Amino acid sequence: MKPARFSYVRPADLAAAVALGSRDDVLVKFLAGGQSLGPMLNLRLVQADVLVDITAIAELKRVEETPDSLTIGSCVTHADIEDGRVPEVTGGMLRAVAGGIAYRAVRNRGTIGGSLVHADPSADWISALAALGAEAIVRDARRERRVPVEALMAGVFECNLVPGELLSGIRVPRLSPGARWGYYKSCRKAGEFAHAIGSYLCDPDRSVCRAVIGATGSKPIVFTDATPLFGGATGAQDGIDRSLVVQAMAAQGLTDPIEQQIHFACLRRAIAQANQS
Amino acid sequence: MTEQGVGARLLRKEDDRFMRGRGQFVADLRFAGMQDVAFVRSPLAHAYIREIAVPDAHKGAVFSAADLVNVKPIRAVSGLRGFKPSDQPSLATGKVRYVGELVAMCLAPTRAEAEDVAAAVTLDLEELPAVYDMLSAREPNSAQLHEHWGDNVFLETFVDVNIDQAMDAPIKVTREIRTARQCMAPIEGRGVVAIWDSRLEQLTIYSACQMPHIIRTGLAGCLGLDEGQIRVIAPDVGGGFGYKGILLAEEVCLGWLAMHCGHPVRWIEDRREHLTAGANCREHYYRITGYADRDGRLVGIDCEATVDSGAYSAYPFSACLEAAQIASILPGPYDFPSYRCRTYSVATNKCPILPYRGVARTGVCFALELVLDAIAREVGVEPHEVRAKILARPEQMPFVNITKKKFDSGDYPESLRRAVAAIDVPAVRARQEGGEPDDRMIGVGFATYCEQAAHGTSVYHGWGIPMVPGFEQATARLTPDGGLELRVGVHSHGQGLETTLAQVAHEILGIDVSKIKVVHGDTAMTPYSTGTWGSRCMVMAGGAVSVACKELAHRACKIGAQLLQTEVANVNLRGGEVTGPHGSIALSEIARTWYLQPQNLPSDVDMGGLEATIGYRPNPDSGTFSYATHAALVAVDPEIGTVEILDYVIVEDGGKLVNPMIVDGQIFGGYAQGIGTALYEEMPFNSAGQPLASTFADYLLPGPTEVPAPRLDHMETLAPHTEFGIKGLGEGGAIAPPAAIANAVNDALHPLRAQLFNSPITPRQVLEAIAQAGRSPT
């Protein structure tokens, strides 16, 4: 469990990192917190020629607040969010989710951007940020593009990024004061990757009602308009249309009845949590 | 009891270095010129080796079986009739028999470079059908691991005591019960450093092991060296649990390599090696029937037990320790008249089975206690009432059970009564009536076990183990300044023996424990011992220290009496001083006189001096019996299948507790491992024999939040045949939790008629059991 030989660079600006990432003569991997990439290097599941450590790039650690959103740099750590060093625009959801990721040692180093591009189906941010309607900000040498978080992930450990592109930040919409959210995950032990995730956001003032079923083994199932789950109403306490949810799970390949039951329960509990708040 | 003697809650002496990060483990050792080894391991469970191809660039740095000329395979031959021996080559020869088996050894200046070399070696393997399931392995058409055997069974045993008389009993419950294969997962894995000293013509092996003397004996046999040419040193070791109780093929390989390459070599096991090539314990299958009267009194147990022993018979415990134990200990602490048990030790394409803390007891406790609860439900009484009817009673002591186990002492029903009271069964029943606000379901479960420990010569000989313990020896040596050195052949790797053995010596000699040094873990410095296993050290090494210190006390009194100019009958040793009618003399003064001022001694002084090596064995040596009742209160989430432990009670009797604080620690640690067995730990294999959990993301260990503090209650019934009444108890904490927790889960799910009989109890199993109960007719 020692990594194959690689070279290491730590550029101070984004342009240099992106330029390194564009090289096609060597395999380049960006290194942020290293909490997933580190073990994968040790297991030789990843054998990069060049590791580009992006944690010295000030722009990637910046946080920018506007009246309607918060932009979090890719290299902001889970602990930064958990500890409140990042402004809270989601009524506590970002903080609650961050505090439940893995263990504190992982949260100290692990980053929100690294987690997203690692694209582990069981990780928290891909589901939680999809429920929040967040956008990924992707940079390359020439331009910046924004994509909904749920469109960033292409599959298991795979993102819709081309060589030379780098996730620079995440834009999270500011929730209305009346917004309600819920996040529930099923783990066999504290700190473990989730086996099922339910996440839910109801923000009537912005006409937003979103629901996410995560830890599906592939991409999260995202209901960008969740109102049909409640027969068109927003967030009825009971009466979630189970058949619609099961249909969506089956369409995603989640056909095992036990898996379906656990995932549905997590979503139901997330919705109940939102409605109780 | 003194402040430092037997019974004192003394802080552990060894923790001074451990808590400061100054322990010295194998991976901390540095030697000039030392290089690292990485192994090429088999990627297949069962295959013929066609070719091992080494690129030209690495020729000379890669060694395979063909290079290890004259190295003999590891053999552990059970003495039980009908046993089929296996030859475990240090590097695979002709065939590989499990994923992770050593195929080639790669040498480089660093481990990373050694892994580069290993990655460049290519294997041409001809895959054979994998024998991955111990039951189908017994079928006549199964592929065979050791072709000359004719089947895959190391050993079959059979015992029948009046089972015919139970078969007409009105209550009969039959269950199929399985326990998963586990990894022991000590914090420190295995590790070996090997050095050849050409001046001494001696091979020094530093190894993270529990039994240095046995390793030396085994190594000498495999390498063709005299035992005197080998020195085994076990430095600080970060947990053993049985995982470090065997001779490793890696030790043999590195020993050979050090003799041939001219510099020290090192191999440190990494966690992936540990998980994929070291999943080596606990996998049992039981088909078990309990016969009972209508009131729930057990009258007979009929069992067929199969143990997945893996590919080879590991040295020294053999492939059959588990099965031999099962047949003899399945009846537990219970008194019933009829018993039959057939066991199979089956060879499969998995790594060799090793005895993990509790050995077979964890499995048999799980099987028997689940059946007792099934009987209780069948007849409609509380589970603890079924146990109370048949637990060995104090007035029966020494109780001889149906398999001729001789129980030494104790009040088993009292441990059950205290546990029932502490967990408060009536309150649980009332709470169940009311239901939980979060819709979870709660349940209570019990398990009572006995832990035979410090097994002596007769027991181990009876189990056919190739290593039979005899008298345990200790050396006690007064130093010229009045300090004490204790040299013991057992090893301490978490048990706190550097403290508890000093407490025993203090009890007898009165020397301050800060001046008592326990020397262990080095074959060159300690008396021969079979080492640390079977919860034996406190009884055996503690007993040996006790008798050696008594001999030393006697010799000091003789010298002291002469210096006090009186008869030895007139003096006694107390508080570190020999006191006579007209004065006293300190042990330190006696020591200084003996070593440095012998002109002051009379010419007829006993020349034995102030160093004594004495052997100790209790009589009878059939072992001590500690025991406990565990009671678990759990909440089961019937929607997502998770289990939470709400309360846990342990009422334990370990005889005289030398250091109650250390005992508590032993119980907490065992309990945590028991929770792992109950709810989390499992190494699944697919039908190709591939282990499926290669990191701790997939192999789940309980963490702090999964191990709520248990409530401990100690009884302290002295053992009648040991020094101070000590009993061995190191493994007990790990024995009962799977049974108690599973019984609690089944109690919780009783309203849904769902029942579980496998460990670990995973959310999927809970939900499948509920779904199945919902489908089956009422």
Predicted local confidence at residue B765, as pLDDT: 97
Per DSSP bridges, beta strands B441-453 and B624-636 are antiparallel
User: Which of A2, A36, A101 to mutate to probe the B interface, most B CBs <10 Å?
Assistant: A2
- Residue matched to tokens 């046999």: B221
- Give tens-digit pLDDT for B433-458: 999 999 999 999 999 999 999 988 98
| Cα A136 from Cα A145, distance rounded (Å) | 8
Strand-pairing partners, residue B300, are B291, B338
For chain A, say whether B718 makes contact (Cβ under 8 Å): no
Query: So what's the pLDDT on residue B461?
Result: 86
For range A61-89, the mean pLDDT: 97
Chain A partners within 8 Å of B640 (Cβ): 186, 196, 261-262, 265-266
* B662-686 confidence digits (pLDDT tens): 999 999 999 999 999 999 999 999 9
A199 to A181, B270, B558, B606, B640: CA distances (angstroms)? 8, 37, 81, 83, 16
Cα separation, B560 vs B566, in Å, equals: 9
Instruction: Tell me the C-alpha distance between B627 and B751, whole Å.
Output: 32
The C-alpha angle B754, B759, B760, rounded to 5 degrees, equals: 100
Compute CA distances B99 → B118, B269, B351, B528, whole Å: 16, 15, 8, 35
CB contact under 8 A, A43 and B768: no
Distance in angstroms (rounded) separating the CA atoms of residues B657 and B716 = 7
Q: Give the range among B42-56, B284-298, B602-616 with minimum mean pLDDT.
A: B602-616
Looking at this predicted complex, what is its ipTM? 0.95
For residue B473, give how far its alpha carbon lies from the nearest alpha carbon of chain A (Å).
41
Answer yes or no: do A190 and B705 touch at CB < 8 A: yes
CA gap B537, B137 in Å, rounded: 37
How far is it, in rounded angstroms, from Cα B289 to Cα B306? 15
For chain B, how long is the longest CA-to-CA vector?
A: 94
Is the Cβ pair A258, B767 closer than 8 Å? yes
Chain A environment of B697 (Cβ under 8 Å)? 192-193
Indicate yes or no: CB of A193 within 8 angstroms of CB of B641: no
Amino acid at B511: I
Question: Which structure tokens are listed for B453?
Answer: 């420990």
Contact A189 B700 (CB under 8 A): yes
Confidence of residue A233 (pLDDT cuts 50, 70, 90): low
CB distance B103 to B41 below 8 Å: yes
Interface-testing mutation among A103, A120, A258, A259, with chain B (most B C-beta atoms within 10 A):
A258
Helix H segments across B344-382?
361-379
Output the six-digit token pair for A57: 């790039």
* Contact: A1, B700; criterion CB under 8 Å: no
Least confident of A236-240, B311-315, B692-696: A236-240
Task: Pick the closest to residue A180 from A156, A158, A202 (CA basis).
Answer: A202
- What's residue B603's pLDDT? 87
Residues 6+ apart with CB under 8 A from B221: B72
Q: Long-range pairs for B576-581 at CB < 8 Å and ≥24 separation?
A: B576/B482, B576/B509, B576/B510, B576/B511, B576/B512, B577/B510
Using a CB-CB distance cutoff of 8 angstroms, which residues of chain A are in contact with residue B117?
A: none
Residue among A193, A258, A261 whose CB faces B697 most closely = A193
**What is the pLDDT, as a whole number, of residue B606?**
85
Surface-to-core class of residue B53, CB atoms within 10 Å of its CB (0-12 exposed, 13-18 middle, 19+ buried): exposed
Q: Are B486 and B516 in contact (CB under 8 A)?
A: yes
B639 min Cα distance to partner chain A (Å): 7
- pTM for the model stands at 0.97
pLDDT computed for residue B462 by the predictor: 83
How far apart are alpha carbons B496 and B666 in whole angstroms? 10
Six-digit token pair at B229?
A: 């040419």
Verify whether the Cβ–Cβ distance B762 to A188 is below 8 Å.
yes
Measure the CA–CA gap between B22 and B42, rounded to whole angstroms.
36
B521-543 burial string, b = 16+ CB within 10 Å, else e? bbbeebbbbbbbbbbbbbbbbbb
| Cα dist from B91 to B94, B96, B101, B311, whole Å | 10, 9, 8, 14
Distant-in-sequence, close-in-space partners of B701: CB < 8 Å, separation ≥ 6: B185, B676, B680, B681
Residues in a beta bridge with B308: B346
Q: Which of B581, B578, B599 is nearest to B589 (CA)?
A: B578
B433 CB contacts (<8 Å, ≥6 apart)? none
pLDDT greater than 90 at residue B378: yes
